[in-house]
A and B are shown apart, each in its own frame.
Chain A
Amino acid sequence: MIQIEHLSVEFTGFSLTDIHLTVDEGTFFILMGPTGAGKTVLLEAIAGLIPVSGGTITIGTTDVTRLPPEKRGVGIVYQDYALFDHLDVTHNITYGLRYHGIDKGRSRRNFDRLVEELDLSRLLKRRTNNLSGGERQRVALARALIVEPAILLLDEPLAALDPAFREDIRRALKRLHRESGVTFLMVTHDFAEALSLADRAAVMNGGIIEQTGTIEDIFQRPRSTFVADFVGMKNLFRARFADTSAIVDGLSIELGRTPDNGQRYIAIRPEDIVLSREPHRSSMRNTHTGRVNAIIDHGMYHEVTVAVEHVTFSSLITKRSLLELDIRKDRPIIIAFKATAIHTF
């Protein structure tokens, strides 16, 4: 388990401020946030690679705040692999064994298991600078896990890989996490990665943690406008609440419940807004007629923005739906969404 309390790190022009974070043992935890949010700084502070100016970091039952990196039992894997290019693959993988007092038999078993799981057997004698990105990342993972760390920190391990290798390594990460029981703490920008890998996650911004929770919580129930925007809740409106309704620029939106006191925003995921030509009977409590403002091509999906009175909604639909509904700019369209799809905060 990692327990971080009141952690501060200060550099010229950047700081991590009063970070509180608990990562349970064996969890696959994801740290998300925009560039410059402080995710890598937090990882390196946990690993002991940068000095902290305040607070504590506890791993298991040991306060490691003042311990050097080699005494923390924390492995780290970087986006750019950071392999030892003067050594071959075997010597890269076994580099850390001499420092950990793991007996030879267990070291051998760990080595054989990781080589098999990460499909490295044909690469063992190769120099690392002759390997592909995916192969290099698999070597980096084996090198970090062979010494049985309590925690493995992964700094965007898939970001530099081709899509084909990325899927490969993502599957390997999932399998290794499940089989090793090691706590994984990974930084990523990719929501798909977060959704497919994480048990829990945190969103960082400007050196602070904005929200921590299950991955569903963060994606469905953001607690700040930043998180809502970051996780792609494009329909984010400041609202006035009246009984079970939210009033946005004069438009009444039915919530189906009374929001808590102090809440000021509503957010709806664009994929939860359904477009249609004709009003249709469904359980959806909110149906409005609007006019298509813009159609934005995102490749796999199209984003359609629809103006309803003074409020603009965004909806994500497939190319096929776009053609079937014959959606065109400035034409009227009906939008509908469930009251349960509306998140208030």
Chain B
Amino acid sequence: MQKKEPFFWIMFSTGFIIMAFLVLPMIKMVTAPSCAMLMEVLRDREVTRSIRLSIFTAGSAALISFLFGTPLAYLLARHDFFGKRLVESIIDLPVVIPHPVVGIAILGIAGRDFWLGAIMQELGIRIMGSVTGIITVLTFVGIPFYINAAKSGFEAISPRIEHVSRSLGASMFGTFCRVTFPLAWRSIVVGFVMCMARAISEFGAVVIVAYHPMIAPVMIYERFEGYGLKYSQPVAVWLVTVCLSLFLVLRILTLKTKEDS
């Protein structure tokens, strides 16, 4: 057997440390609560409601990102225009802003002293302490992940394929629906999953905008603050389980799409 180079062992050991760093806390957290505790938490209506709300709000944020982000991602992938770099930087802004700052910024535009906030209040749209507020915040933090993944997907498709479709009689919209979107489908699903994953894990911005109604990360924080680690862990386990199941299903769907194509 060929002797491994020292560089291989450097790669191997650093990789092992990182894997242990990522996996050990999760294993410890998942195995800490007893089955009885896990079942008891599941019977707690507040917990199930917060997990359902987390899934609903994160899913809504991903759906809004899909609906509004797809045309923008396509525009950025296909067209060069003045200020494109600036637009791309603005899209990445939520990734670098501290999360509580996002919450404060959202509240800033939702207040009555700002024209948009005034209009929203006239229309009966409330951000502070509402599901709408949570979805707004989660969309803000999740949409860069969706747009960037979808944009990469569109960029990977040769414009010539679209040219041929146009020359065969399809309009720009027809080409997008019949050719571009089906070819970029996998990247769009990946973007959707990443956006939802980012949204479901958000805490810092949500806690500023809407402590109540309580999403799961806020519930875990409250349990930790009020009762300690032991009582927050079962809720965290259930949130992780639900998230992993959800993403596993989407991942399988994505892989199937890849194999089909």
Contact = CB atoms under 8 A, between A and B. Distances in A.
Interface stretch (B38-46, B135-143, B155-163, B223-231): B155-163
A76 B168 CA distance: 8
A70 B166 contact: yes
Contact of A47 (B163, B171, B172): B163
B171 A70 contact: yes
Contacts of B166: 47-49, 68-70
Given A80-B158, A86-B183, A75 B168 contact: yes
Interface residues of A, number: 32
Contacts of B171: 68, 70
A68 B170 CA distance: 10
B158 A96 contact: no
B261 interface: yes
A59 to B, nearest CB: 13
Contact of A147 (B158, B169, B179): B169
Contact of A44 (B161, B163, B170): B163
A93 to B, nearest CB: 10
A99 B170 contact: yes
B15 interface: no
Given A77-B164, A80-B158, A83-B161, 14 more contacts: A48-B166, A49-B167, A68-B166, A68-B171, A70-B167, A78-B164, A82-B161, A82-B163, A82-B164, A84-B161, A85-B261, A99-B168, A99-B170, A129-B261
Interface of B: 158, 160-161, 163-172, 174, 178-179, 182-183, 185, 261
29 contacts: A44-B163, A47-B163, A47-B166, A48-B166, A49-B163, A69-B166, A70-B169, A70-B170, A75-B167, A76-B163, A76-B164, A77-B164, A78-B160, A78-B163, A78-B164, A82-B160, A82-B161, A83-B161, A84-B161, A85-B261, A86-B182, A86-B183, A86-B185, A95-B165, A99-B169, A99-B174, A140-B164, A144-B168, A147-B169
Interface of A: 44, 47-49, 68-70, 72, 74-78, 80, 82-86, 95-96, 98-100, 127, 129, 140, 143-144, 147, 149, 153
